[in-house]
Amino acid sequence: MDKLKQNNVFEYNVIDKQEKQCDYYVVQSDGDVILRYYQVFPGISLVYEDIHAQNCIYHRKISDSIFEIRHCREGRFEGKTQNEFFYMEQGDLSVCKPQKMLNKSYYPLHHYHGITIIIDVEKTPKCLSCFLEDVNVEPKYLMDKFCNISDTFVARSMSSISHVFDELYCVPENILKGYIKVKVLGLMLFLTNIDVKTDEVIKRKFTHNQKILANNIAQYLLENMDTKVRLEQLSEIFLVSATQIKSSIKAVYGISLQNMIKIQKMQSAAKLLENTDLTIVEIAGKHGYDNASKFSAAFKSIIGVTPKEYRNKPIKIENILT
């Protein structure tokens, strides 16, 4: 997609590195990436992210005065800080300094939609109450509150967070710029009063070994579609406990091992239905099913239609885990 410039909005797959008006853009990705960038206030910008890729390398301005507020609307996001990983799923919010994170982001499900708000406290007014009376918000206070305790703050999906973000995803274009300003102020006011020590707030951090284990298991399952792989077998192959396997898969991909196996097989089957002349029975056998009825039921539970219906009229599916 060619780069488009309209009313301070930037939409692109890969933007020229020389672009000076936007300090947040993609250098490289292995899929489709669309970012829409808005300047909200001095020192505050907002980026809508629509991503159908597993890996993205971002260029972002790095400074000790910058922090980011990220909200996940759909999909799953993996961030890395030093030797730890954190994960966000639908409804989650995170606050961190980009200098603490790698520029390369990973999306385990090949699917992510969300918003990132970038704040440079050296360029913002000390207090934003001048924009709206009685809104007492200090960006520097927010950065110190959330970023001095740990590298990354992650909050579990809460109705109060959803309420702040939901309307940002469906605002009419003619009022979008003004609405973003109001909502960003509202979000910062909300964060000013949130208790970082409540039970609803969690740190979703996992080790490098957990990530590697989950990725290796996913790859092994892809290479053994025609067999019924059991948890006990994986435990013997990877020399770890069943509990470690289940927790690592859940941490990285946000789903159970059983669901991962089913999703992988059904999406692989969908590709064969679309691109080959193999019969449904043959495709079922290639994915470890000796019963066409059970295969059809499993396929519909993941894809939404039966194998026969899919072959007659393929629907667009996400490349989850493949």
The pLDDT tens digits of the residues spanning 121-176 come to 898 877 665 655 555 677 887 888 887 766 677 777 777 778 778 888 888 888 88
Nearest to 51 by CA among 68, 69, 70, 76: 76
Predicted confidence (pLDDT) per residue in 176-187, tens digit: 888 888 888 888
Residue whose structure tokens are 């026969």: 308
The token duo for 245 is 């396997």
pLDDT above 60 (res 80): yes
Of the candidates 49, 93, 40, the residue with the CA atom closest to the CA atom of residue 70: 93
- Residue 195 in tokens: 């208790």
DSSP string of 14-34, one letter each residue = S--TT--S-SEEEEEESSEEE
Whether 130 contacts 190, CB under 8 Å:
no
| Spatial distance between the Cα atoms of 278 and 316, rounded to a whole number of angstroms | 20
pLDDT digits (tens, 9 = 90+) for 256-274: 899 888 988 998 899 899 8
Distances from the Cα of 20 to the Cαs of 15, 17, 61, 62, 314, in angstroms? 11, 8, 11, 15, 42
Type of residue at 228: K
